[in-house]
Amino acid sequence: MILFNLRCAEGHTFEAWFRNGDTYERQAKAKAVACPLCGSHSVEKALMAPRIAKKRGREEAPQQAVAPVAPGGGEMPAEDRAKAAELLRALREARRLVEANCDYVGDRFAEEARRIHYGEVEKHGIYGESTLEEARALADEGIEFGRIPWLPRADQ
């Protein structure tokens, strides 16, 4: 059995079961299919958009959990895309603030953070790169720093 969404000449849509696609074609051609609302025998297959959309939503959900997050689009549902876009905006804003207020020290971050911490240089905001080991060492020494995912700017 196969369920078709049908639409009559008046624009009414309704569902009807058929043994198979051929049965539908035969019955439609023989005017044996009538619109339940107006009785019109002029019917054609309608797009099954709502039904398909629901089904796809359920089937795609498990895939989303394992799929890598694709910032800015891909196959993510609109809701996830919106969240991802929001996160990207927040991270880009974080980067902008850091760049506007801190001095870039490149891979000398750990060294510079130490100099500031121990008062060897005037306190100022810095940013740069550090290895995981350096970051751990800094944390062990009680030096405050933050780590943020460093995203390309929107204009890059």
State the CB neighbour count (10 A cutoff) for residue 77: 12
**Shortest separation between residue 17's beta carbon and Zn ion, angstroms:** 18
Tell me whether residue 12 or residue 26 sits nearer to Zn ion (CB atom).
12
Q: Is 23 in the site for Zn ion (CB under 5 A)?
A: no
Contact residue for Zn ion among 12, 26, 41, 92 (CB under 5 A): 12
Contact residue for Zn ion among 2, 3, 32, 38 (CB under 5 A): 38
3-class secondary structure per residue, 61-123: HHHHHHCCCCCCCCCCCHHHHHHHHHHHHHHHHHHHHHHHHCEEEECCHHHHHHHHHCCCCCC
Q: Is 85 in the site for Zn ion (CB under 5 A)?
A: no
Give the binding site for Zn ion (CB under 5 A). Answer: 8, 10, 12, 35, 37-38, 40
